Amino acid sequence: MTRGASIISTSIESLELIKVWEDKPELIRHFIRELPQYEQLCVEVAYILEKHIRESKIEFSSITYRAKSLNSFAEKIIRKKYKDPFSEITDIAGVRLVHLYKSDFPILKEIIHSEFEVIEEVDTVEIQGTDKFGYSAFHFLVRLGRRSSGARYDDLKGLVCEIQTRTVLQDAWAIIGHHLSYKEKAAVPEILSRKLNSVVGLFEMADDQFDRIRTERESYLTQVNSKLNKKTEFLEQKINLDTVRAFLKWHFPYFKNESTDAHISVVIKDLDVKKYSKLLDLEIVLLRTEKARKAINIESKSTYAAGELAGAIALDDLTYRQEGWEPEYLHLFNKYEYLVEKNIKKL
């Protein structure tokens, strides 16, 4: 048995692989020889994508990658009857980008075109027609671009990688659709056909609604920030994640570490909404606890504005103080709560 045959004998999982090995063993040897380059290509493409997407401040769910397995390669050769697999199979290297909003796609497309040599792009929604089920998105066939130069890239320059872009909901549909195994409309039992069509429509509508909600949120944030120069009006706003974020930036401009949405969510999730409903209530509690917080900060200084606010509320509200605080902080709150001023009720 040859060395190549030995490799195959330990990893046979399909009849297709056996057939290709018997008919064209040179293809299998070529694939095994080239696979490390395709795996490295996946890594490089994913890295470049993530780097520039983060620089563009576009939120995304995941960037994953994989090189096609030997069994999958053999199966595709048999199914598609390829004569020259290494030029005809374009997804030996594959990267998948799952992003949040459909409206971000033009920027993502621009990044792909600027960073890679795009050979082909396909809108699978447009080409799949009415006889196929699915809610797919864009596929790009790319090679590394001009900016990827140097010895590190020499062996990768001519190789092709497929980049798939999907929204989170498109990805969810692809996963569920793969599980159901219905690719063609004719394969679907009649009793399920109408329901599947309805679900696809709901996914598309939900994607559109998320875009609208984001637009409305951005408009709301603009409205919140527009009141920063009108103190009374600004402080009359209801407490929520967006208003508290603006409040912290306004009240604590000197904090170097920016409070994240996760920090702020932790602070406001256990608030007594009857006691703290408006930003004005937070402003008052900060004034009442100012002396106590200064004393505490001598021993344990806050590094986030959200932490400073949480400490103020804990000094003011015994119930809030009981929600998951470390013993060292509870000790400081108990030690300095006598400095909290009780007479400040309103501004």
Measured CA to CA, the distance from residue 80 to residue 33 in angstroms comes to 22
Evaluate if residue 132 carries a pLDDT over 90. no
Q: Specify the range with the lowest mean pLDDT, choosing from 131-140, 295-304, 329-338.
A: 131-140
Strand order of the β-sheet with 93-99 is: 60-67, 93-99, 161-167, 138-144, 116-123
Q: For residue 336, which amino acid is it? A: Y
pLDDT range class, residue 4, cuts 50, 70, 90: very low
pLDDT of residue 345: 62
Q: What percent of the chain has pLDDT over 90?
A: 58
pLDDT of residue 3: 42
pLDDT of residue 305: 95
> What average pLDDT does this structure show over 286-296?
95
Among the ranges 74-78, 123-127, 166-170, 239-243, which has the highest mean pLDDT value?
239-243
CB 123 within 8 A of CB 138: yes
Burial bucket for residue 345 (CB in 10 Å: 0-12, 13-18, 19+): exposed
pLDDT of residue 256: 84
Give the residue from 37, 139, 47 showing the smallest Cα distance to 86: 37
Measuring CA to CA, how many Å separate 299 from each of 253, 258, 290, 330? 22, 22, 15, 13
Evaluate if residue 306 carries a pLDDT over 60. yes
345 or 225: which leads in pLDDT: 225
Which tens digit of pLDDT belongs to each residue from 194-241?
777 788 788 889 999 999 999 999 999 999 999 999 999 999 999 999
User: What domains appear along the chain, each with residue ranges and CATH number?
Assistant: 3-206 (3.30.460.10), 228-339 (no CATH)
* Alpha helix stretches (DSSP H) within 96-227: 105-115, 124-128, 168-180, 190-226
Strands 93-99 and 161-167: parallel
> What average pLDDT does this structure show over 13-31?
76
pLDDT range class, residue 81, cuts 50, 70, 90: confident
> What average pLDDT does this structure show over 113-121?
95
pLDDT of residue 201: 81
pLDDT range class, residue 6, cuts 50, 70, 90: very low
First to last CA, the chain: 89
> What average pLDDT does this structure show over 27-48?
92
pLDDT of residue 289: 95
DSSP percent split of the chain into helix, strand, coil, nearest 5 = 60, 10, 25
- In order, the DSSP letters of 31-46 are HHHHHHHHHHHHHHHH
Which residues does residue 184 pair with via DSSP β-bridges, in sequence order? 132
A 10 A CB-CB count for 254 gives 6
CB 130 within 8 A of CB 185: yes
- In order, the DSSP letters of 265-331 are HHHHHT--TTT--BHHHHHHHHHHTHHHHHHHHHHS--SBHHHHHHHHHHHH-HHHHTSS--HHHHH
pLDDT of residue 150: 78
Q: What percent of the chain has pLDDT over 70?
A: 87
Burial bucket for residue 29 (CB in 10 Å: 0-12, 13-18, 19+): middle
Evaluate if residue 12 carries a pLDDT over 60. no
Evaluate if residue 9 carries a pLDDT over 50. no
Which tens digit of pLDDT belongs to each residue from 152-206?
888 898 899 999 999 999 888 888 776 765 555 556 677 777 777 788 788 889 9
Mean pLDDT of the chain: 86
Measured CA to CA, the distance from residue 201 to residue 209 in angstroms comes to 12
Q: Which two tokens stand for residue 344?
A: 């400040």
pLDDT of residue 343: 74
pLDDT range class, residue 135, cuts 50, 70, 90: low
pLDDT of residue 187: 62
Measured CA to CA, the distance from residue 161 to residue 38 in angstroms comes to 8
Give the residue from 222, 270, 262 showing the smallest Cα distance to 243: 222
pLDDT of residue 146: 84
